[in-house]
Amino acid sequence: MPADDVTVEVNGHEADQAAVSLLEHEGWGHFTAMQVRGGRTRGLGFHLSRLAAAHHDMYGRELGGQQVRDRIRHALGGRLDASVRVYGFWAGLIVTAREPQDMPRRPHSMTAVHFQRPLARLKHVGSWGQGRFREIALAAGFDEGLLADETGRPRSQSACRTSRATAE
């Protein structure tokens, strides 16, 4: 698959320009990102739970795991390997599928920055600060920014390119 080949579907249908505009300009939603290999996703239950909990928190509505699975399967269109993102918005689900991404084959360098996203328990869109701190980390020669709360406890990364960090 060429690097720029991306599938974008809204509520199970190919996205038109209006739907793509929603994705580009809507700042109120949540998402999860996953890698599909051989038609399977490691931790799929975690991703589905994250989406369901965030959808309920944000919109007070249920989001069924089977519906999400069906939409992902449809967007994949038979591809066995891909990078997939599922966005939950008030108007429904947006699913994107593009070329798979591999983890770097070297240690990943990180720098800690003091920043806590609003509603940090939700993986949501519209976090300008998170992206800005990633750019600052990259400019300083790091691969990533590690976002820490006021106590210094790691909360998340500035981008979703590494495995989850766990702080005790």
In terms of residue numbers, what domain contains 66? Answer: 7-98
Would you state the structure tokens that stand for residue 36, as one six-digit string? 């599909």
- SS3 of residue 22 by DSSP: helix
d(CA 83, CA 69): 14
User: Which pTM does this prediction carry?
Assistant: 0.68
Q: Is 1 within a domain?
A: no
Given 54, 78, 98, which residue is the final one in a domain? 98
Short-list 151, 152, 146, CA closest to 133:
146
Tell me the per-residue pLDDT of 103-122, one tens digit each, with 9 for 90 and over. Answer: 778 887 777 776 666 666 66
Residue after which a domain boundary falls, among 51, 77, 98 = 98
Residue 124: per-residue pLDDT: 60
Tell me what pLDDT residue 2 has: 45
Distance in angstroms (rounded) separating the CA atoms of residues 46 and 42: 9
Tell me how far apart the alpha carbons of residues 130 and 158 are, in angstroms, rounded to a whole number: 5
Q: What is the CATH number of the domain that holds 31?
A: 3.30.470.10
- Helix, strand, or coil (residue 39): coil
Q: Is the pLDDT of residue 89 over 60?
A: yes
Residues 58 and 90 in one domain: yes
Q: Is the domain of 79 the same as that of 33? A: yes
Tally the domains of the chain.
2
